[in-house]
Amino acid sequence: MKIVIVGCGNVGSAIVEQLSGEGHEITIIDEKQDLVSDMVNSYDLLGIVGNGAVYSVQMEAGVNEADLLIAVTGKDELNLLCCLIARKAGVHHTIARVSNPVYYKEIAYIKEELGLSLVINPELAVAGEISRLLKFPSALKIDTFAKGRVELVKYRIHEDSLLCNMQLKEVRFKFASDVLICVVERGDEIFIPDGNFTLLAEDEITIIASSTRIASFFRKIKVPTMRAKDVMIIGGGETSYYLAKFLVDMGIKVKIIERSKEKCEELSELIPEAMIICGDGTDKDLLLEEGLVQTESFVSMTNFDEENIMLSLYAKSKSKAKIITRVHRISYDEIIDNMNLGSIVYPKYITAENIIEFVRAMQNSVGSNIETLYKLNDNRVEALEFLIHDDCPLVGIPLQNLKLKKNILICTINHRGSIITPGGQTVINVGDTVVVVTTQTGFRDIRDIVE
């Protein structure tokens, strides 16, 4: 596919990184020469320096021959204008990044009137991920499938865990739990495990099942499942606003610390249920005064990655809170992993997942549609949810008779709202959604999983 991407910031670079590896013909547009040069030197693509909302610049980028335009600059108005011009130039599919809560309240109208194929809101997506983590603070990461009926939960096994030194085939019988451990990360290695795989301390395991079954499983292995009662958020930007709205609705007490008096006043009006503190979130005395030691969860979301990391380290040293850190730059990956900070949220990866899901759906498919896609374990694993159509050749065949490619696991089947952990005799039916986890990337159709 021919894809034009306007904006080469954190979000744009993540999208380029993912899509360039899937064989697309990509052209980027950005006003900053250094950003364009870096991308051109790193990937096989065409770079244009200029304003993506200018018709002549888009034409220079070949937008009239493009299948898709993605506008992900930091300015909502610019993104919407880029998409409008591209539509007038003949592009059938456009995607716009829209973050401002004022616009997002009317997003259905904007999407319809501008003919947008997809609207992405990285800040809202990050807030959603963090709110799921605060529902179950023992998890490192939580993703959902089947409209929330199925959860994919990442968890680190501690030395005193009941799971230590157990084979997977023993886990299911000992704890009488219908959950599936579908991925194990051990150091730099990734495994799609079978029943003979033995779990060790410090393994990071990914578990998939319905939310009730996962909660039951964790209770049986003596892991706390109670949601956080309160949260301290450092930084009062758009993500904090969306997060606070989610948490207030969940009954969680919210405290936001923000430097800007203007933002504090705005947040106080928008979220009267939250406590807004005007002050420097990096001031240790202020944090202690506002109850850092007692808080059950701590989220650092300033505009600076280094500040967020240092704040989380300090919070970890002073409290037993669930720590969540927002980080934009992936280059900090290895450093952060050694700090054992808990949950790290990368906004640009969350956004890239939504884009890839849409692009693959455009490219496929006869037998199925990609409904949901997640990149796991530093992009080395993909979890995909496929909706099965009536012309899918896998329908009605027992799973044990399918010749699956290596390192592929069919994890769950949603059959008319009933969540099934499949066995060898299980069959896929028309209308089902099927979740597949694999270390092989690039699948566009359920048929891609068989040899």
Please give the residue that has the higher pLDDT: either 362 or 440.
Answer: 440
Residues 317 and 376 occupy one common structural domain = no
* CATH number for the domain that contains residue 399: 3.30.70.1450
Token pair 């949603």: residue: 414
Residues 338 and 437 occupy one common structural domain = no
Q: What's the chain's Rg over C-alpha atoms?
A: 23
Whether 351 is in a domain gets the answer no
Residues 341 and 258 occupy one common structural domain = yes
Nearest of 42, 10, 40 to residue 28 by alpha carbon: 40
How confident is the model over 298-352, as pLDDT tens digits?
A: 999 999 999 999 999 999 999 999 999 999 876 666 677 777 788 999 888 888 8
Whole-model pTM: value is 0.88
Separation between Cα atoms, residue 117 and residue 318, nearest integer Å:
46
User: Given this model, what pLDDT does residue 254 score?
Assistant: 98
In the predicted model, is pLDDT for residue 155 greater than 90?
Answer: yes
Domain hosting 311: range is 230-345
Separation between Cα atoms, residue 52 and residue 28, nearest integer Å:
9
Residues 390 and 441 occupy one common structural domain = yes
Which helix or strand (DSSP H or E) is residue 19 part of?
Answer: helix 10-20
With beta carbons less than 8 A apart as the criterion, state whether 260 and 240 touch.
no
Residues 166 and 84 occupy one common structural domain = no
**Of the residues 282, 317, 345, which one is the last residue of a structural domain?**
345
Residues 91 and 17 occupy one common structural domain = yes
**Of the residues 71, 101, 120, which one is the last residue of a structural domain?**
120
Separation between Cα atoms, residue 42 and residue 435, nearest integer Å:
33
* CATH number for the domain that contains residue 331: 3.40.50.720
How confident is the model over 164-178, as pLDDT tens digits?
A: 999 999 998 899 888
**By three-state DSSP, how is residue 103 classified?**
helix
With beta carbons less than 8 A apart as the criterion, state whether 402 and 371 touch.
no
* Torsion on CA atoms 192, 195, 201, 204, rounded to nearest 10: 30
DSSP-derived pairing of the beta strands 46-49 and 418-420: unpaired
Neighbours of 330 (CB within 10 A): 17
In the predicted model, is pLDDT for residue 365 greater than 60?
Answer: no
Q: Determine the average pLDDT of the residues in 18-38.
A: 93
Percent of the chain surpassing pLDDT 70: 98
* Torsion on CA atoms 408, 414, 415, 417, rounded to nearest 10: 170
Residues 334 and 389 occupy one common structural domain = no
Domain count across the chain: 4
**Average model confidence (pLDDT) for the chain?**
93
